[in-house]
């Protein structure tokens, strides 16, 4: 009898200093394929300084994955992670009660990217407003100078 597939949550840790995202996702895909896992969601969780050094790894790139596979394959997936040079650690937990909405919720890395995008848009808007304000101020200064030039050529009494 074939194992009934269950939903799992995997948190994978890679060395942030030496890993690029494409290589990392390819490695995870290979591990998932070997364990006959169906990936439901695979996203960058966060990039953080580690509390303690693991090997020579000081910063870690955390990857959150939700996948469906047979329970008998969990041990082989954990072994594949341990043998992998790209991945430093993994934690695999059952996630049968996790909803699809929770699986696709915004991660800290996604929030940071969104905030940076919004921040750059806001900075651009503020710069445009500042340029417009400077242009308006220059126009006002020119108009004021024209009014002064049109007026009396005598200097005001306080300047004497």
For residue range 28-86, what is the model confidence (pLDDT) as tens digits? 999 999 999 999 999 998 888 888 888 888 888 999 999 999 999 999 999 999 998 88
The pTM assigned to this predicted structure is 0.67
pLDDT confidence tier of residue 160, bands split at 50, 70 and 90: very low
The more confident residue out of 140 and 4 is 4
Compute the distance between CA of residue 74 and CA of residue 66 in angstroms, rounded to an integer: 13
Given the candidates 3.90.1330.10, 2.60.120.650, 3.30.70.890, 3.30.70.60, the CATH classification of the domain at 6-105 is 3.30.70.60
| DSSP-derived secondary structure letter, 44 | E
CA distance to 8, 9, 11, 48, 156, per residue, from 21 (Å): 22, 19, 15, 15, 70
Given a contact cutoff of 8 angstroms between Cβ atoms, the answer to whether 14 and 86 are in contact is: yes
Domain assignments of the chain as residue spans, ordered by start: 6-105, 106-148
């Amino acid at each position: 009898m074939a194992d009934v597939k269950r939903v799992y949550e995997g948190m994978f840790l890679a060395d942030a200093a030496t890993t690029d995202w494409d290589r990392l996702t390819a490695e995870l895909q290979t591990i998932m394929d070997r364990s006959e896992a169906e990936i439901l969601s695979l996203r960058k969780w966060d990039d953080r300084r580690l509390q303690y050094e693991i090997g020579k790894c000081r910063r870690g790139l955390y990857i959150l994955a939700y996948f469906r596979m047979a329970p008998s394959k969990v041990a082989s997936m954990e072994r594949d992670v341990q043998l992998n040079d790209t991945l430093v650690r993994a934690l695999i937990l059952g996630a049968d009660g996790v909803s699809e909405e929770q699986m696709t919720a915004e991660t800290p890395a996604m929030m940071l990217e969104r905030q940076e995008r919004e921040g750059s848009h806001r900075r651009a808007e503020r710069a445009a407003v500042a340029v417009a304000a400077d242009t308006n101020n220059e126009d006002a200064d020119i108009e004021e100078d024209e009014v002064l030039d049109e007026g009396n050529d005598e200097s005001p009494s306080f300047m004497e």
